[in-house]
Amino acid sequence: MRILFVEDERKIADFIKRGLKEEGYAVDIAGDGEEGYFLGSSNEYDAIILDLMLPKLDGVSLCKKLRADKITTPIIILTAKDSLKDKVIGLDAGADDYLTKPFAFEELLARLRAGLRKASAHLSHELTVADLRMDLLSHKVTRAGKEIVLTSKEFALMEYFIRNAGRIVTRTMISEHVWDINFDTDTNVIDVYVNYLRRKIDAGHKTKLIHTVRGCGYTLKK
């Protein structure tokens, strides 16, 4: 899952980004409303978290502009403005949820999960390819009934593969959806993680699921 966080207070931005990354999310940070609009309107995100009091373009105006562009990504407002009037204005601008500062990080995570569940309510929380099963709620992965323990980044990469089963995914596509906008594409980190998954997912099985497409990227298929 890829998240856009629009926040001009650097300490808060760094804290939230670190916490979300530990939960397996890829996070892009925008320091003002104009940058938030540029990133939010030009990239695919699973959720957007934004402050209201932003330089250059305030959060309410940003929210309205994204909704006017038919962007339906779940939006959570995270702000120090806690009056009923401010909440109504934020929700009427198109936000899906409203959380006031100070807040507990666990509550932000819970609201984020709720927003993501609502956005994907028509989708199953269990993904399968052949005898590989992935439960997005419990984060449990099994193959042929045997549980496989994955790190948060391995889980995110595996989820991206299985959601795109049968398609070729390039390293650029993987970096954009599983890592973040600052990912160094000159490193071999993606190949390293794919090899981690191969050892955990395919080792010991006659049928291999993760395949390299020379000169293109990878594909997950039976």
- Interval 52-63 mean pLDDT: 93
The size of the chain, in residues, is 222
CA dihedral 211, 212, 217, 222 (to 10 degrees): -20
Handedness of CA 18, 20, 24, 25 (dihedral sign): negative
Q: Which domain holds residue 8?
A: 2-119
Where among 88, 119, 150 does a domain terminate? 119
What is the rounded CA–CA span in Å between residue 81 and residue 206? 58
| Residue 120's pLDDT band (cuts 50, 70, 90) | low
User: What angle (nearest 5°) sits at the alpha carbon of residue 163, between those of residues 161 and 165?
Assistant: 65
Tens-place pLDDT, residues 149-166: 998 889 889 988 988 888
114 and 140 both lie in a single domain: no
- Interval 189-201 mean pLDDT: 92
| Residue 219's pLDDT band (cuts 50, 70, 90) | very high
55 and 104 both lie in a single domain: yes
Where among 91, 119, 147 does a domain terminate? 119
Q: What does 141-206 look like in DSSP terms, one character per residue?
A: EEETTEEE---HHHHHHHHHHHHTTTSEEEHHHHHHHHS-TT--TTS-HHHHHHHHHIIIIITT-S
220: Cα separation from own chain's centroid: 20
Where among 119, 138, 164 does a domain terminate? 119
114 and 150 both lie in a single domain: no
Q: Enter the pTM of the model.
A: 0.65
CATH number reported for the structural domain that contains residue 67 in this entry = 3.40.50.2300
Which residues are 212's β-sheet partners?
218
Amino acid at 59: G
Does residue 122 have a pLDDT over 60? no
Which residues are 35's β-sheet partners?
none
Check residue 127 and give its pLDDT. 85
25 and 110 both lie in a single domain: yes
82 and 64 both lie in a single domain: yes
140 and 79 both lie in a single domain: no
**Structural domain count of the chain:** 2
For residue 16, what are its two tokens?
């939230």
150 and 74 both lie in a single domain: no
Check residue 209 and give its pLDDT. 92
